[in-house]
Homo-oligomer: A and B are copies of this chain.
Amino acid sequence: MLDTDYIPTLSDMVEARERVAPHIHRTPVLTSSFINELVGAELFFKCENLQKAGAFKARGASNAVFGLSDAQAAKGVATHSSGNHGTCLSYAAGRRGIPCTVVMPRTAPQAKKDAVRGYGGRVVECEPSTSSREAVFAEVVAETGAEFVHPYNDWRVIAGQATCSAELIEQVQGLNAVVAPIGGGGMVSGTCLTLSNLAPSVKVFAAEPLNADDAARSFRAGHIIADDAPETVADGLKVPLKELTWHFVRNHVTDILTATEDEIVDAMKLIWKRMKIVMEPSSAVPLATIIKNRDIFAGQRVGIIITGGNVDLDKLPWN
């Protein structure tokens, strides 16, 4: 039984790194002279959009899946997610050859269902409500005995995401700060875990859509605030903080900066145009916040986590 209160440590990250190495890419770090001039800082983009299954979540999912005992693994894994975590859990389960079930609202985009199935996972549909999702998910677990892997409030997942910034500080020397998007806080927590131990002088900033600024308000209030169904183009960032991620955010994050929808879309288009990479709106939030907070980052060396690249090419937000 998973200890849901356990706070992962540096050695969990180190073990995760060894465990996931065969299943993930060491993603490249890209730069843009044009964007550097624009913001007056040196930016280093850690390209998790080029990660296996198209998102950093392949790290946490792989760590959870490959850390299971053979007995538990045989029963498979399950989650509820209509985003990258579902796809990445299916990817990791497929690598281990074990069953994976993802509970998803029947209204979720077809592409997301296809992505889970493309890696061999099973999609079980629920109604688009929390009560239906919880009921259907409980049934799935009762039937299969599958291990629940939460998208972020899970120490194995956080330890997996933490491997990303371990690579980043090897790839780029002398960083002053890292800016990562924040939704549920899995990537931010992993970043805090690694940097607070291995590079404590590097500040961690979280970047959030103003339209879904529950983490920023939680940070100011000193306790978790959850929004009811926020609407933002950065659809990976709508979910609220949970206990484990709140622990890292509260203790290690320097500040949470926000950006408007227009600022996010402008930053996204700028990255596509200048850096020639396909990435999600969520991944553009850090640059959007840096552009409007030039004074904070002036002259600094700043890492940015490009969290994922799974975007609907037929529905780009500037069209």
Contacts and interface: CB of A to CB of B under 8 A. Distances in A.
Interface in A1-37: 28, 30, 33
B276 A309 contact: yes
Interface stretch (A185-193, A207-215, A293-301, A311-319): A311-319
Interface in A267-312: 269, 272-273, 275-279, 309
A236 interface: no
A276 B278 contact: yes
A114 to B, nearest CB: 11
A49 B313 contact: no
Contacts of A30: 50
A318 B313 contact: yes
Contacts of A47: 276
A110 to B, nearest CB: 14
A181 interface: no
A202 to B, nearest CB: 24
A280 to B, nearest CB: 10
A44 to B, nearest CB: 14
Contact of A276 (B54, B269, B316, B319): B54
A127 to B, nearest CB: 29
Interface string A57-69: 0000000000000
Contacts of A276: 47, 49-50, 54, 277-279, 309
A273 B313 contact: yes
A107 to B, nearest CB: 22
Contacts of A319: 314, 319
Interface in A47-93: 47, 49-50, 52, 54
Interface in A95-142: none
Contacts of A54: 276
Contacts of A272: 278, 313
A30 to B, nearest CB: 7
A33 to B, nearest CB: 8
Contacts of A52: 33
A278 B275 CA distance: 8
Interface of A: 28, 30, 33, 47, 49-50, 52, 54, 269, 272-273, 275-279, 309, 313-314, 316, 318-319
What 4 A-B pairs have minimum CB-CB distances, sorted nearest first? A276-B309, A276-B278, A49-B276, A28-B28
Given A49-B276, A276-B278, 15 more contacts: A28-B28, A33-B52, A47-B276, A50-B275, A50-B276, A54-B276, A269-B313, A276-B277, A277-B277, A278-B278, A313-B316, A313-B318, A314-B319, A316-B316, A319-B319
